Amino acid sequence: MISTDEFATRVADASHTIIDTRPLAAYNGWRLAGEARGGHVPGARSLPLEWTRFMDWIEVLEGKGLDPSRSVTVYGYAPDDADAMVNYLARLGYGHVEPYHGFIAEWAADPERPIRRLERYRHLVHPAWLHALIGGGTPEAPPRGDWVLCHAHFDHPADYARGHIPGALSLDTNLLETPETWNRRSPDQLRDALLGLGITHDTTVVLYGRFSHPTYEQPDPGKSAGQLAAMRCALIMLYAGVKDVRVLNGGIHAWEAAGLPLSTDPVAPRPVAGFGAQVPGRPDYVMDMPEARRLVESDGGELVSVQGWAEYIGEFSGYHYIEKKGRIPGAVFGNTGSDAYHMENLRNLDNTTREFGEVARAWSEAGIVPEKHLAFYCGTGWRASEAFMNAWLMGWPRLAVYDGGWYEWSGDLANPIATGAP
């Protein structure tokens, strides 16, 4: 049996690997088992035991860069969970793996022991939290007042009609952005749209989407990536001034994986009369072309490309409606995914948001760090919004999305274009 003091020496040893086998929500900060403090041991990697039932574990372990030759200590909520992961890793060739059984009773209960969590974990909710909220309960970190649940999609009401989380409204992204430019709508239009949904500046809004639609062979940014639509709506609502925007981690698939029911009954919004604050409430969260030009030239900021590598170096534009290929000169490659329809480097294999420390470490190698003023751009703002939300959830202070993105930049003949590897 490993003592807590011995475990502490392993946590402090950079050559030792610590694995947290609890659900990802617990790792991020939610207190799922009533522990005194939410979060994880500093430096621990998230490997939920539940993943062993349905994931390609060789790919998972390789993706996390775990080395079978290094000593590993595993902890979880229950001793059986830690022991099960130890046995599983041993079968995969990890020869130096031991369990630690004192996380709840000793580590989390001792305020002198360090705990790390996702800064804004309350805004990345899990299915049990949402289920309790819908059922009239009082989950951890409840809304302070009224709340609205939205099923996000792009111009695809059938996606909502075929099954949604009970109580959810249908939210077409076209309500918040213009289909001609894919930019956010004007302040007046946004205010009216939000009021029509029953949303004020102090309404808690919970957003989710669906990752795939079986009737579509070709990918479409809304029909095949509804959770990306949820991230887009989250960014625009934050920009508008909604103070408490939350996203269901893993979207509707996480809800279904938890064995929770769907509904086909449509839900009508209950409009409200006043937003209660000026729109936009956070204009700094979105920038336009002049600000993007200034940021590229700034020593204290980075314009971050959320294009795929082939888009970034100019092999193709990534979109059938964008002719020019390449990137904004001076933009840093964000390495978030392979193309306009995949954000695999920001997600786990179950499409939950990736362990935040992994995202931060990958970005830091490119100079994308919280000390800088960062603005993310892609083709039209959708992927950039998901990158923004990852950084925002980590509590990074100076963030924005360049809303016009490559669509707007490449359409201006006065703008330079860069191609090839930088």
What pLDDT, on a 0 to 100 scale, did the predictor assign at position 326?
Answer: 97
* 3-class secondary structure, 188: helix
**Can you spell out the DSSP letters for 395-413?**
T-SSEEEESSHHHHHHT-T
**Where does residue 130 rank: exposed (0-12), middle (13-18), buried (19+ CB within 10 A)?**
buried
CA dihedral 338, 89, 54, 391 (to 10 degrees): -40
Q: Does residue 228 contact residue 379 with C-beta atoms inside 8 Å?
A: no
Q: Does residue 7 contact residue 107 with C-beta atoms inside 8 Å?
A: yes
Locate 203 and state its tokens. 């309404």
Name the maximum alpha-carbon separation found in the chain: 68
What pLDDT, on a 0 to 100 scale, did the predictor assign at position 224?
Answer: 43
What pLDDT, on a 0 to 100 scale, did the predictor assign at position 231?
Answer: 97
Verify whether residue 378 is a known catalytic residue. yes
What pLDDT, on a 0 to 100 scale, did the predictor assign at position 225?
Answer: 56
Preceding amide of 280 cis, omega within 30 = yes
What pLDDT, on a 0 to 100 scale, did the predictor assign at position 388?
Answer: 98
Give the residue from 161, 166, 169 showing the smallest Cα distance to 132: 166
What pLDDT, on a 0 to 100 scale, did the predictor assign at position 222?
Answer: 40
Active-site residue (options: 378, 384, 393, 401): 378
What pLDDT, on a 0 to 100 scale, did the predictor assign at position 214?
Answer: 33
* Radius of gyration from C-alpha coordinates of the chain: 22
Give the residue from 293, 338, 294, 346 showing the smallest Cα distance to 312: 338
- The tens place of each residue's pLDDT in the chain, 422 residues long, gives 899 999 999 999 999 999 999 999 999 999 999 999 999 999 999 999 999 988 888 889 988 889 999 999 999 999 999 999 999 999 999 989 999 999 999 999 999 999 999 999 999 999 999 999 999 999 999 999 999 999 999 999 999 999 999 999 999 999 999 988 889 999 999 999 999 999 999 999 999 999 753 333 333 444 445 789 999 999 999 999 999 999 999 999 999 999 999 999 999 999 999 999 999 999 999 999 999 999 999 999 999 999 999 999 999 999 888 999 999 999 999 999 999 888 999 999 899 999 999 999 999 999 999 999 999 999 999 999 999 999 999 999 999 999 999 999 999 999 999 999 99
The domains found in the chain, sorted by start residue, are 4-117 (3.40.250.10), 122-257 (3.40.250.10), 283-410 (3.40.250.10)
